[in-house]
Amino acid sequence: MGMDRQRYPPNWAEISRAARERAGWRCQWCGAAQGEERVSLAGKRDKQDCRPENLAALCQRCHLRYDIDEHVGHARQTRWRKHREAQLQAGQLLLFE
């Protein structure tokens, strides 16, 4: 799954690092502790929108799931919503909407 660089702002690396550091190098979805290199930053389709609430530091597993949700779109909306509801019930804060 290649990154489309065109969709990322020039200072993405910086933004990404700051956001992952803020998350304590943990996955914000499942809470798994990640090494500095392993946690990655997920963002909405519009990567130029780098507000913190538009981004999430995720482990590889959750990032994969995030991308699937992003790409598949409506067909998976229900599953996505259920996932989020489960997170909310687990008391996890979501940083993006």
Q: Please report, as ranges, the residues that interact with Zn ion according to CB under 5 A.
A: 27, 29-30, 32, 59, 62
Tell me the β-bridge partners of 58.
Answer: 40
CA pair distance 31, 25, nearest whole angstrom: 9
* Nearest CB to Zn ion, comparing residues 6 and 89: 89
Torsion angle of C-alpha atoms 29, 83, 74, 9, degrees rounded to 10:
-10
* Nearest CB to Zn ion, comparing residues 15 and 59: 59
Q: Which residue has the tokens 């990640």?
A: 34
Cβ-based burial of 4 (10 A; exposed 0-12, middle 13-18, buried ≥19): exposed
Report in angstroms how near the CB of residue 56 gets to Zn ion at its nearest. Answer: 10
Report in angstroms how near the CB of residue 87 gets to Zn ion at its nearest. Answer: 11
* Nearest CB to Zn ion, comparing residues 6 and 90: 90
Report in angstroms how near the CB of residue 32 gets to Zn ion at its nearest. Answer: 5
Report in angstroms how near the CB of residue 24 gets to Zn ion at its nearest. Answer: 13
* Nearest CB to Zn ion, comparing residues 18 and 32: 32
The DSSP element (H or E) to which 63 belongs, if any, is helix 60-72
